[in-house]
Structure 1
């Protein structure tokens, strides 16, 4: 997809994740890379990100609070679907091994930058 066009099916799935805490294993094609993981709500994404900054210095705590605020705002603005959020993510570029090799990180990308998708997650197992 080019410009600001969004795939209506992917937008619907992302909206379902944001509005109804729906999750789904999915793989996205973005600019020649495959991004594979589990679709989650923006709220869950920001809450998990916030947790990664808890317990640190004052700056870390401030970042954690901002991310928690973002999670609450995204619940209120669930109708506006601009970003897609994945957890347990791996990124494949060409025939190389995925980055990271363990799929334990969170990923956020623009929905209008997605070239295609399929239901299911690429597994190394």
Structure 2
């Protein structure tokens, strides 16, 4: 039976692809709405990625700040006022789009989840077979590439 069948309330909230994890997508949606960061460990492309769920807005704000440090605003000259780095502008557009999407989703009366495509983590640790773990501040990945997850964050053994 097709998951998109009209009149089936449960089907309307379920993903159409059996490989998609509706429960995990819901956690990602809740993180986008400001749910305090839940620790998760993901299995993705043969490695474990462990961190705190965070919102798309927080991820893009981090990216904007990093790009501002790396490539500062071009100084003004006689011809033009100072211009923002194109990467900073791109991050600001992503922040605004994420805010609008999240506000629309979490507005009063919303009953359907968005089925988010990407998940964002902060305070990330990567565990790759045969290599020592390494850390990054943030990570963004496609939910449909995650083959499993657990609640809780992995840490290196002492």
Report TM bin, short chain.
0.7 to 0.9
Q: Which runs of 5+ in 2 are unaligned?
A: 1-16, 75-82, 103-113
Q: How does 1:1-125 map to 2 (within 5 A)?
A: 5-55=19-69, 56-57=71-72, 58=74, 61-78=85-102, 79-98=114-133, 100=134, 103-124=135-156
- Residues in 2 aligned to 1:51 and 1:21: alpha-carbon distance in whole angstroms: 22
Q: Which runs of 5+ in 1 are unaligned?
A: none
115-124 vs 16-25, which moves further: 16-25
1:4–1:90 CA distance, 2 compared to 1 (3 A): farther
- Residues in 2 aligned to 1:82 and 1:13: alpha-carbon distance in whole angstroms: 12
- Residues in 2 aligned to 1:44 and 1:66: alpha-carbon distance in whole angstroms: 15
TM-score of the two chains, using structure 2 as the length reference:
0.67
Whether contact under 8 Å (2:49, 2:126) holds in the other structure is: yes
What count of residue pairs does the alignment treat as equivalent? 120
Higher strand share: 1
- Residues in 2 aligned to 1:28 and 1:14: alpha-carbon distance in whole angstroms: 12
Whether contact under 8 Å (2:64, 2:88) holds in the other structure is: yes
Q: Could you say what secondary structure the match of 2:41 adopts? A: strand
Whether contact under 8 Å (2:57, 2:99) holds in the other structure is: yes
- Residues in 2 aligned to 1:65 and 1:77: alpha-carbon distance in whole angstroms: 18
Whether contact under 8 Å (1:88, 1:106) holds in the other structure is: yes
- Residues in 2 aligned to 1:118 and 1:84: alpha-carbon distance in whole angstroms: 14
Question: Displaced runs of 4+ in structure 1, greater than 4 A?
Answer: none
